[in-house]
Structure 1
Amino acid sequence: MRVLEVSNLFPPDVLGGYEILAQDLVTSLRARGHEVEVLTTGDGSEQAGVTRTLQLSRAFGEKARSDRVRHLVAAAHNRRAMLRYFAEHGHPEVALVMSLRRLGVAPLRVLQELDIPFVVTVNDDWPVAYARPRSKGRLAPLRDVLDRRLLAFQSWNGIRTQHVIYLSGAVQEHIQSRGVPFPPGIVQSQGVDLKIFSPRRFRIIPHRPTLLFVGRLHPSKAPDVAIHALASLRQKGLDARLVIVGAADDASYAALLRTNAATLGVSEHVEWVGMIERTRLPDLYRSCDVALFTSRLEHEGQGLTWLEAMACGVQVVAFPSGGAKEFLDRHPVALRVDACTGDAFASAILDLLTRPDDQKVMVEAALDVVRQHGELEQYVSIVQGQLEEAIRASHRAREERGHVSRPPEPAIGRGVG
């Protein structure tokens, strides 16, 4: 297949798991012999099959707003960028659409106009941004007129989305409950590349444990809870330390976290690693004793760090929500806490320290679950199948319209980059 992946961000521009998955899909589909290129936002460059000519309505790190005028400008820019890309590169057989948060739906409208079939991945609530709920306040009538008429292009109005892959049932339910006109689609958990994230030999948690938090430093990810858990453990006599991996979009929030650590008296026991190359993560996981999965997101798509930790043979203590809760309800292989608080995490860790046999059982069970239900190639196979089905469905529709008389010859895939 000749595939174009469209995404609001693409590494090295990374907010979290969505962008990592975007890159993983490109790498894996290319390894399977498909020709895959990427169209995303950035500096206008084109390198190794990645073209960065799309434009966000507002940069990540800035507070989200309704941004009607910004969306208008971005939509016009992105329409031109899409058409220019196709004029220069030709049409793909199918497009794989990742997150369009702050990018807008103009790329989908262009794909539809050019009769290019597409598959949409939904890993969080980004489609809700274009569902256009009724406005509130004194200017609500004017805003609603703008949304229904002048800015209807910036909603799902008129877009026919037939092939959707949801990261979890929780995401699927949330999207459909918010008025997004998507079909039920397919639900498939994201996976971990087990060639990269491989397990260490089992070891019990020592009485001087190293805790690990990996993720974006944002209130929704609750890194402050990891710091409070460390403080609580130390107050109870456990000589623990904490490694924090990740960066903050908001410098003031990063400073607040450091202030919290100082106020709690644990600054010298916290190592701030910052953003690191993903290739360094497996060794970092394996060097730590307990991975903390903290989250305040009501609709967590799934999360990835806890799966990576499990794949590396590390004990996970979690307060999951959304897709992560759904996965761990089916496969109870993490130690769950009943509140996203430092004290709750600390109590769970102290309890786990007294049960070394249970530690081994849980780690080994987690490894089995990751191999059976959390492996990246399973997700890639689902995506590949949906891309192929989108091509077939598009061909059937053209036949019905009388545009083609026989199936096209299958494309011979070749790697790019």
Structure 2
Amino acid sequence: MKILALSNLYPPDFVGGYELGCAHVVDALRDRGHDVRVLTAAPRLPVASPPHVLRRFKLTDEWNPNGMSKHPLGYRLDEAESRLVNAYNVHALTTVLDEFQPDAVYVCAVTGLGGFGLMACLQFLDIPWVWQLGDCVPRILCSTERRTFPMLAEEFTRRIRGTYIVVSERLRQETEECGLTLGDRVETIPYWITGPQEAERVDFYRGGHLRIMAAGQVAQFKGSDILIEAAARLRDAGHDDFSVHMYGNLYDHWLLELIRKRNLTDHVILKGVLPQKLLLETYKNYDLFAFPTLEREPFGLVPLEAVARGCVPIISRQCGIAEWLVHGLHCLKADRTPEAFARAFADVIEQRIDPEPIARRGAAAAWRDFHIDAIIPRIEQLLADAASREKGIAGSSHDAYRLARMAEQLTASLLQESIIA
């Protein structure tokens, strides 16, 4: 098959697991003999790009604190360009579609690109697509920071119809809570790990110093404050022989003060960002992986990476990956409170819980059921099914661009009128 992948960012330019996942699928499909091209945004910093990666989109960088205008009107215009329609990007898409003539499109994250307009363009041109949802992107495309627009959600439900992949039922539920419905086909497929299976771990916690790690943005929404408070409670309960190492960008700088305030500078250490390859090696040096993330976490790949290497994850009880891993069998689950996480740590220290059998079972399941080699045939089949469906009446690329220009100008006019009023 000829497959075009769409993503706002593409490694080595990426924010997190969503963009990495896109690259994993592209590489796996190419390894299986498919002709795959990637259409993504111009990188935020210069990066090397192989010939199959086309960096032609313009990105409105919602994830950069300085990426959006600070003026109310400018901010709303940027937001509309990011989520609703960017005629420049519609033109870039139609140009590549005309050049490449793909059998199907594999869609990933399109926030920052005028994602609603891109999906509407695919519908208008009757291009079959499979949309990998690693976050509630359709809901984002129908909303501003403040609220969801019911009319947009209704229009999305009516017009943006194809094949969706959701990484958890929690993600599907959150996506549809705003009043839109995903149609025509929705498949639940988990995220995955990649690479060759590593040698089975042989060293496990047997008492003494407990090594705990976390990875991801060091931020309140990821539960970093909960982990710090859990460390304080663990120490106050009389357990002093432990460490918590947190890897990732420091997003909320007040967490440094919280560490000092709780007198935890010897126990909680911020280790900064590690390249992905080094991070995968680092899991082997720890006994537990703490993941006190928000319950709305769509999936959470890092606990899966950790358990694949024998580091037992302790995860929020209701987050996305909790649907896929079983408490006491592949992981430990805890309520998203400092008390619950501290209690889980203490259970290991006091040997009420033996991490070794959990680590062994979790690693076996990760490499067997959650490796890209086990997942990619399902994604490949969905793309083939989409490509083989009966085609309808398609519009032209020229008309798609003209409509995008009209929508962009109308949106700008409406926003200016609303701000002035």
Q: Deviations over 1:67-101 (max 9, x none)?
A: 542255451221122233345x4222211000222
Structure 2: which amino acid aligns with 1:286?
Answer: K
Which residue of structure 2 lines up, in the alignment, with residue 406 of structure 1?
A: none
Which residue of structure 2 lines up, in the alignment, with residue 228 of structure 1?
A: 229
> Does the residue aligned with 2:387 lie in a helix, a strand or coil?
helix
CA gap 1:191/1:43 in 2 versus in 1, 3 angstroms: closer
Mapped pair 1:123 → 2:134: yes
> Does the residue aligned with 1:321 lie in a helix, a strand or coil?
coil
> Does the residue aligned with 1:11 lie in a helix, a strand or coil?
coil
In structure 2, C-alpha distance between the alignment counterparts of 1:153 and 1:189, rounded to whole Å: 25
Match of 2:77 among 69, 73, 90: 69
In structure 2, C-alpha distance between the alignment counterparts of 1:203 and 1:331, rounded to whole Å: 16
CA gap 1:326/1:43 in 2 versus in 1, 3 angstroms: closer
Which residue of structure 1 lines up, in the alignment, with residue 356 of structure 2?
A: 360
CA gap 1:304/1:197 in 2 versus in 1, 3 angstroms: farther
State the Cα distance separating 1:376 from its structure 2 match: 2.1
In structure 1, C-alpha distance between the alignment counterparts of 2:271 and 2:143, rounded to whole Å: 40
Which residue of structure 2 lines up, in the alignment, with residue 272 of structure 1?
A: 270
CA gap 1:20/1:196 in 2 versus in 1, 3 angstroms: farther
Q: Deviations over 1:13-67 (max 9, x none)?
A: 3322211211111121111111222111234988212222223344313399995
CA gap 1:263/1:330 in 2 versus in 1, 3 angstroms: closer
Number of aligned residues: 379
Match of 1:52 among 45, 51, 55: 55
Contact residue 196 and residue 282 of structure 1 kept, 8 A: no
Mapped pair 1:22 → 2:22: yes
In structure 2, C-alpha distance between the alignment counterparts of 1:56 and 1:6, rounded to whole Å: 13
In structure 1, C-alpha distance between the alignment counterparts of 2:287 and 2:337, rounded to whole Å: 20
Structure 2: which amino acid aligns with 1:98?
Answer: C
In structure 1, C-alpha distance between the alignment counterparts of 2:213 and 2:293, rounded to whole Å: 14
Contact residue 81 and residue 112 of structure 2 kept, 8 A: no
Which residue of structure 1 lines up, in the alignment, with residue 260 of structure 2?
A: 262
> Does the residue aligned with 1:119 lie in a helix, a strand or coil?
strand
Structure 1: which amino acid aligns with 2:11?
Answer: P
Q: Which has the higher mean CA deviation after the structures are superposed, 121-130 or 323-332?
A: 323-332
Match of 1:100 among 110, 131, 154: 110
Mapped pair 1:83 → 2:94: yes
In structure 2, C-alpha distance between the alignment counterparts of 1:234 and 1:86, rounded to whole Å: 59
Contact residue 317 and residue 335 of structure 2 kept, 8 A: no
Q: How does 1:401-412 map to 2 (within 5 A)?
A: none
Structure 2: which amino acid aligns with 1:351?
Answer: D
In structure 1, C-alpha distance between the alignment counterparts of 2:12 and 2:186, rounded to whole Å: 30
Contact residue 233 and residue 239 of structure 1 kept, 8 A: no
Contact residue 11 and residue 19 of structure 1 kept, 8 A: yes
Mapped pair 1:2 → 2:2: yes
Q: Deviations over 1:201-234 (max 9, x none)?
A: 2422542122100112232111122222333333
In structure 2, C-alpha distance between the alignment counterparts of 1:273 and 1:387, rounded to whole Å: 41
State the Cα distance separating 1:295 from its structure 2 match: 0.9
> Does the residue aligned with 2:367 lie in a helix, a strand or coil?
helix
Which residue of structure 2 lines up, in the alignment, with residue 371 of structure 1?
A: 367
CA gap 1:71/1:318 in 2 versus in 1, 3 angstroms: closer
> Does the residue aligned with 1:156 lie in a helix, a strand or coil?
helix
Mapped pair 1:303 → 2:300: yes
Structure 2: stretches of 5+ with no match in the other structure = 395-421
Structure 2: which amino acid aligns with 1:355?
Answer: Q
> What do you get for the CA RMSD once the two structures are aligned?
3.1
TM-score (norm 1): 0.81
Which residue of structure 2 lines up, in the alignment, with residue 351 of structure 1?
A: 347
CA gap 1:40/1:191 in 2 versus in 1, 3 angstroms: same
Q: Determine what percentage of the aligned residue pairs are the same residue.
A: 23
In structure 2, C-alpha distance between the alignment counterparts of 1:333 and 1:82, rounded to whole Å: 42
Contact residue 95 and residue 118 of structure 1 kept, 8 A: yes
State the Cα distance separating 1:317 from its structure 2 match: 1.6
Structure 1: which amino acid aligns with 2:57?
Answer: L
In structure 2, C-alpha distance between the alignment counterparts of 1:245 and 1:266, rounded to whole Å: 16
TM-score (norm 2): 0.80
Contact residue 315 and residue 334 of structure 2 kept, 8 A: yes
Which residue of structure 1 lines up, in the alignment, with residue 291 of structure 2?
A: 293
CA gap 1:392/1:208 in 2 versus in 1, 3 angstroms: same
